[in-house]
Amino acid sequence: MHHLQSRIQLTAAFRWAARMGWQSGICNHFSLAVNDSSGPSGILINPQGFHWSELTASSLLLMNSQGKIIDGEGEVEDTAFFIHLSTHNEVPSATCVLHAHPPYTTAIMCSKPGRIVNCSQDSLRFHGRIAYDDHFGGLAGDKTEGARIAEALGGKPIMLMANHGITVTGPSVAKALDDFYYLELAAKYQVLANNAGDSLNILSDEKADRLSPAIQQIDTQTAGHFQSIQRILDKEEPEYRE
């Protein structure tokens, strides 16, 4: 089995996402580009037909840049194939790609105007970092739609997709998962505040510009967050490493 440590990290993300209620049935997909001495270059991705809580390091598939499975048994779901292959091939900064339909961010993208607004400290993590895809093209069932989604990122690490869900990219599993967590948390605060019936207390663009850099530069917290997730899984679901 190639790329064991990368497999373990991506599987930890799947297991944690399952706990957090971010997945939809056996749909949605995470991937990680690998290019090191521990095996052939390619993209690790979940096989079709498995609940995320079932996945282990050895169950992940490795496909090459053309989409051919070169390690593992199973198939890649069609939309996963086109979204992830296009994103990894066309966006060099997207080492890890997390695509799902978590409840609060997806709820925002089911409404108009469908935007995360700066009404909480956590929303400032994403000030200037989100692309919005306001065109829903149905299932990403072909290369053209996958390429359109990749292009719609427009140099941003995160995309919120109208009538659909979210795609979070990052240089590592730890960074992408941390962003995913806090994005969903920011969306939760926004939805709950909206439901309270009062107007949102939205920060001005000037204040957001001034305050967001310090909040976005917390790499030690990012690493510690992922390490704590792995410690919990090592205690409670150690088989994820197998």
Look at residue 26 in the predicted model and tell me its pLDDT: 92
Q: Which among 21, 22, 11, 97 has a CA at the least distance from the CA of 54?
A: 11
16 within 8 A of 174, measured Cβ to Cβ: no
Beta-carbon count within 10 A of 27 CB: 14
41 within 8 A of 64, measured Cβ to Cβ: yes
Look at residue 140 in the predicted model and tell me its pLDDT: 66
State both tokens at 183: 């994005």
Q: Is 105 helix (H, G, I), strand (E, B) or coil?
A: helix
Average pLDDT over every residue of 63-76? 92
Place of tokens 């997390």: 98
Residue 38 φ then ψ, to 5°? -85, 5
Give residues with Cβ within 8 angstroms of 32, minimum separation 6: 6, 9, 10, 43, 44, 45, 95, 96, 97, 173
Look at residue 209 in the predicted model and tell me its pLDDT: 96
pLDDT tens readout for residues 165-189: 999 999 999 999 999 999 999 999 9
CA 108 to CA 198: how far, in whole Å? Answer: 17
Give residues with Cβ within 8 angstroms of 134, minimum separation 6: 114, 162
Q: Is the pLDDT of residue 204 over 70?
A: yes
Which domains, ranges and CATH numbers included, belong to the chain? 4-234 (3.40.225.10)
CA 146 to CA 159: how far, in whole Å? Answer: 13
Q: Is the pLDDT of residue 97 over 80?
A: yes
Q: Is 238 helix (H, G, I), strand (E, B) or coil?
A: helix
pLDDT tens readout for residues 23-58: 999 989 999 999 988 888 899 999 999 999 999 999
Average pLDDT of the chain, as a whole number: 93
Look at residue 81 in the predicted model and tell me its pLDDT: 86
pLDDT band per the 50, 70, 90 thresholds, residue 197: confident
Look at residue 141 in the predicted model and tell me its pLDDT: 66
Give first-to-last CA distance, the chain, whole Å. Answer: 10
Look at residue 207 in the predicted model and tell me its pLDDT: 97
Give residues with Cβ within 8 angstroms of 5, minimum separation 6: 38
Exposure b/e, 80-118, CB count within 10 A at least 16 = b:
bbbbbbbbbbebeebbbbbbbbbebbbbbbeeeebebbb
CA 193 to CA 190: how far, in whole Å? Answer: 5
Pick the residue with more confidence: 143 or 225?
225
Q: Is the pLDDT of residue 236 over 90?
A: yes
CA 104 to CA 184: how far, in whole Å? Answer: 6
